[in-house]
A and B are shown apart, each in its own frame.
Chain A
Amino acid sequence: MQDSMKGLARFTGLLARAALWVAGTGLVLMTIFIAAQVFWRYILNDSLTWSEPASVMIMGWFIFLGAAVGIREGYHLSFDILLYVLPDRAKNWLHTLSDFAVAAFGGGMIWFGSSLADKTAGNMVPSLGISGAFDFIPIVGGGVLIVLFSAERVLRRIAGLPTARFGDAPLEE
């Protein structure tokens, strides 16, 4: 059980790493786009109309991917007051319940994000000329990772492996 879990953890670890790379690339792209906008406005005395909406869309990507990785690495902020006073067994059950709730929300991001993307697919994003569906693809992508990483947390706990606790230092592999 633990061995197969470790195999799975290697896979999700790679996935989280990839998501961080995509998100990091997004942050760098945003920086370049807005810098270009400043350059165009002040040096070339012209306007870049696509840089702002493009950057906002990229921001969506890196927020939802980053938030999903945060589930795995445990860097989201939370309160842990009640949990201090409970025995380990009860703590584990509550953590698992919490992971299920988060997974359900991730499921909502996938399902309802898709239906928003579907509804707006025929619209055009102003200044970018791409389908309005792109507005909602980041939320769907983030949802997929949130479900996966929440499931991993539950499985790790069942296998008796440690999970990163929210508010604590990131889990070392």
Chain B
Amino acid sequence: MELWVLFGTFVFLLLIGTPVAFCLGISSFATVLYLGLPPVVVFQRLNSGVSVFALMAIPFFIYAGDLMVRGDIARRLVALAGGLVGHLRGGLGQVNVLASVMFGGVSGSAAADASAVGGLMVPQMKERGYDVDYAVNITVVGSIIALMIPPSHNMIIYSISAGGRISIADLFTAGIIPGLLLAVSLMVAAWFVARRRGYPTEPFPGFRALGGLLASAVPGLILVAIIFGGVRSGIFTASESSNIAVVYALLVTLLVYRTLSWNDFLEATFAAVRTTAMVLMVIGCAASFGWLLAYLRVPASMVALLQGFSDNPIVILLLLNVVLLILGTFMDMSPLIVITTPIFLPVATAFGIDPVHFGVILVLNLGIGLCTPPVGAVLFVGCAVGRIPISQAMKTIWPFYGAAFGTLMLVSYIPALSLWLPSVFR
């Protein structure tokens, strides 16, 4: 009955157009009242859900993106990328995916990645005649790459949730090939969609013009180098590098390009506040909702159901994937890793699935969940950046879901994709 109250209220509010964040919060509030629990817990979870230092990378990357867009850094970078690969079908879509590979290594967070890459690419793609939904779709699904390519905080959370029997170094290495495979699949999908929609290709500008584009984009390239090189060489953590991105974007636009007016600055700041507040409110309310799911033992019941179903590893792997995809639809990633790992990992290992392999499946699978409604932080960031309703993005996102799901199947059933690289490094 408690579950009916929780899900019933949630779905009802969703249908009458209540903002998603509040659907989650209000249905949790109603359920706690129904259970006779002290309702403080809902608001405490909301508060702690957003009071997480690691989340700070999200406002900073969004802010840096807003500053880069208004201060001309983004336009020059994308002009360069357009000069390089714009003559390919869906050129900026391909650049978008590659940007996720690059930023993915830096941010380690799909939501932060969606805000950084989306903030950079979506307005530029819009300007160059691409449909916004196409730009948002690629940005959203492309951000899953960030979860797979190291550093990945979610891999660390998985290892800790598994009781530490799994090497984090192995997990990091194991994510690289699946991450690149996902990138390739998305680029293929982007190519097909671009061909069907007949997006214009741009003429190759010639090497002289390319040189000019490169020169004018140098400060922006330095920013990428600072973020990427800083984290890789160990000078900065991800949160710090997102902050440096803001400071550097301010310095370049104020002192080098001198393109940022006081009004631009205010607009960028308010835009960043609006986007971040909207995204983090969803994350906070999802913390309340997730708390109730755990309190009502929903994940545990799902597993009991699964274990009584089959004894074939291939079927079990498929079932695990399906259950995780369903759970991922409703909940956010890190709480799900923490809750499902201790329950699902023993099932997986009992059927001979390597724990490192399972970790890669888990992170990729729940990464897809971040891009699916009703609860998908990355989808929300993407739609917020592109300023389109979720329903508009949903209509055309399917080829990209397909590419991600295909990659998930390949990664699930070909263990070597995950396990070969770690074995080389060991």
Contact = CB atoms under 8 A, between A and B. Distances in A.
Nearest to B388: A167
Interface stretch (A6-14, A97-105, A154-162): A97-105
Nearest to A41: B240
B390 A79 contact: yes
A26 to B, nearest CB: 8
B338 interface: no
Interface residues of A, number: 60
Contacts of B390: 77-79, 167
A31 interface: yes
B273 A59 contact: no
Interface in B374-415: 374, 380, 383-384, 387, 389-391
Contact of B269 (A27, A57, A94, A102): A27
B276 A108 contact: no
Contacts of A30: 56, 59-60
Given A34-B243, A35-B243, A112-B40, A80 B50 contact: no
Given A56-B53, A66-B276, 12 more contacts: A31-B246, A38-B236, A59-B50, A60-B50, A63-B50, A65-B277, A67-B278, A77-B20, A81-B15, A95-B17, A105-B25, A139-B46
Contact of A27 (B19, B52, B53, B59): B59
A34 B240 contact: yes
User: Chain B: interface residue count, which band?
Assistant: 35 or more
Interface in B242-287: 243-244, 246-247, 266, 269-270, 272-274, 276-278, 280-282, 284
A136 interface: yes
16 contacts: A24-B269, A30-B60, A34-B239, A56-B56, A57-B51, A63-B277, A71-B19, A76-B22, A79-B374, A80-B389, A81-B391, A95-B16, A97-B16, A139-B43, A165-B17, A166-B17
A151 B222 CA distance: 49
A56 B51 contact: yes
Interface in A98-134: 98, 101-102, 104-105, 108-109, 112-113, 115-116
Contact of A75 (B14, B15, B40, B278): B278
Contacts of A102: 18-19, 22, 26
Contact of A31 (B16, B60, B284, B391): B60
Contacts of A27: 59, 63, 269, 272-273, 276
B43 A112 contact: yes
4 nearest CB pairs, A to B: A66-B277, A76-B19, A167-B389, A67-B281
B302 interface: no
Interface of B: 13-23, 25-26, 29, 39-40, 42-44, 46-47, 50-53, 55-56, 59-60, 63, 235-236, 239-240, 243-244, 246-247, 266, 269-270, 272-274, 276-278, 280-282, 284, 373-374, 380, 383-384, 387, 389-391
A77 B18 contact: no
A42 B241 CA distance: 13
B383 to A, nearest CB: 6
A23 B277 contact: yes
Given A81-B15, A112-B43, A135-B51, A169 B387 contact: yes
Given A77-B383, A94-B17, A108-B39, A20 B273 contact: yes
Contact of A136 (B25, B39, B47, B374): B47
Contact of A116 (B18, B47, B60, B281): B47
Nearest to B50: A63
A52 B53 CA distance: 7
B243 A135 contact: no
A82 interface: yes
A44 interface: no
Contacts of B14: 78-79
